[in-house]
Amino acid sequence: MKTSDFNFDLPEELLAEHPSEHRDEARLMVLDRKTETIEHKLFKDVVDYFDEKDLFIFNNTKVFPARLYGNKEKTGAKIEVFLLRELDKETRVWDVLVDPARKIRIGNKLFFTEDESLVAEVIDNTTSRGRTLRFLFDGSYEEFRSKLKELGETPLPKYIKRAVEPEDAERYQTIYAKIEGAVAAPTAGLHFSKHLMKRLEIKGIDFAEVTLHVGLGTFNPIEVEDLSKHKMESEEIIIDEKNADIINKAVDEHRRVCAVGTTTMRALETSVSSNKKISAFNGWTNKFIYPPHDFGVANSMITNFHTPKSTLLMMIAAFAGREFVMHAYEEAVKEKYKFYSYGDAMLIL
């Protein structure tokens, strides 16, 4: 498989700048892999495709306000700092992306507050835009994290050209988000409302949770034509015994198991053994799923519409078949479905 096999024309106006008015009223395209048929629904209709004892698996990661703005010492130049991951809690060392990067060198200091209560020093270059920062803050670790949260902004993807609005803090977060650590939302889950969760529960559908802290690596463009040469950045996964047991029971009983989002699917496929059992897992994954791939756990999935040549589109193609998926995407463009993080959804059965 080549990167160019996953290209298509995506008009810019189909990239969603705002979410749908109500979470569960985004549009839903339903793909049936057996019959290769397509239906057009609303997201809240998802409940009609599942029965009692079927299982939904959610990614309960929570997005933290990862985008900060600081000023460079001496020049005062405004610098965007995007927090990627904490490397050392004690010394407050973080991997970040900076923009504009050409101005930021080792030894530079960035000031985030007028009173200089939060300062960062650049201690390493990691990639063209990547830097390692040591934060200087006079206070406890809890106070430091609380200061980052206070100054940080909801990390909307760069394709959204508008300014961050107050409602983004809530809408760019799933309603079941629990464990903080993601710098991007697991977007398929954004369509679930409290009301829809209640309807699924009343129908007797079971829920399980995994954690995969979404990093920006998920969205990194693929620079190579040969997919086997692409390296994914690592993301952290946590699956506990209790949830592993719930998932294994559903698989053993041949129920419909639905992975909500590509991140959930990646977590499952990382921790599944050759005998199709999920093991409790706490570690990192750089698993890249593209066709052909034999999926071990979920037999249905919910996902958003992804951009051309993205690793996310490749995973969907591995699950539902490249030709069928590319045909569905042509249809989505024609029907003016909204794409990407705040866009519409797809259910694959």
Q: What is the pLDDT of residues 189-229, one digit of tens each?
A: 999 999 999 999 999 999 999 999 998 776 677 889 999 99
pLDDT digits (tens, 9 = 90+) for 80-116: 999 998 999 999 999 999 999 988 999 999 999 999 9
pLDDT at position 219: 67
Using DSSP's 3-state secondary structure scheme, residue 176 falls into coil
CATH number of 3-63+169-348: 3.40.1780.10
* Structural contact between residues 298 and 269, judged by C-beta atoms closer than 8 angstroms: no
In the chain, CATH 2.40.10.240 covers: 67-151
Strands 55-59 and 257-260: parallel
Say how many C-beta atoms besides its own lie within 10 A of residue 165's C-beta.
11
pLDDT at position 248: 97
In the chain, CATH 3.40.1780.10 covers: 3-63+169-348
- pTM, entire model: 0.94
What CATH superfamily classification does 67-151 receive?
A: QueA-like (2.40.10.240)
pLDDT digits (tens, 9 = 90+) for 23-53: 999 999 999 999 999 999 999 999 999 999 9
* Structural contact between residues 261 and 188, judged by C-beta atoms closer than 8 angstroms: yes
pLDDT at position 242: 98
Does residue 233 register a pLDDT over 90? no
